[in-house]
Amino acid sequence: MRKPRDFDADLKALEDKARGLKTRKVRHLGELVIATGADALTAEELAGALIVLVETKEAGKREAWAKRGAMFFQSRARRNAPATDRNLGSAPPRPSGAQSVSSHKSST
């Protein structure tokens, strides 16, 4: 005979796991805000910038932001890598036409 399944315990375990994942996500977002320097913005400025990002449907802009974000993470990985693993001869090029999110003005 099979042992009866304890659905209450399973549900509690899933809720605990979901709570842990949400906590980790919030912590990582906070770390990202600090790492990018966005913690210097007011909460209103940061919220406004994020709203503009979410509302933007232009593929070109989103692609440019994604490339810039990838460069950010690559440069962080390079800085955190041991000196023997680094490519000290080259730095990633900065896009000349890229604007920071904080300098983007919305016409609303």
Please check whether residue 69 lies inside any domain of the structure.
yes
pLDDT tens-digit readout, 24-70: 999 999 999 999 999 999 999 999 999 999 999 999 999 999 999 99
Residues 36 and 52 occupy one common structural domain: no
Token digits of residue 21: 């994942």
**Could you count the other beta carbons within 10 Å of the beta carbon of residue 72?**
14
Radius of gyration of the chain measured on its C-alpha atoms: 21
Helices of type H across 1-108: 7-36, 43-55, 59-80
pLDDT band at 82 (very low <50, low <70, confident <90, very high): low
The yes-or-no verdict on residue 95 having pLDDT over 70 is no
Q: How confident is the model at residue 84 (pLDDT cuts 50, 70, 90)?
A: low
Residue 77 clears pLDDT 90, i.e. is over it: no
Domain extent, residue 35, equals 7-40
Rounded percentage of the chain residues whose pLDDT exceeds 90: 63
Q: Is residue 90 part of a domain?
A: no
Whole-number Å distance between alpha carbons of 75 and 82: 13
Residues 35 and 48 in one domain: no
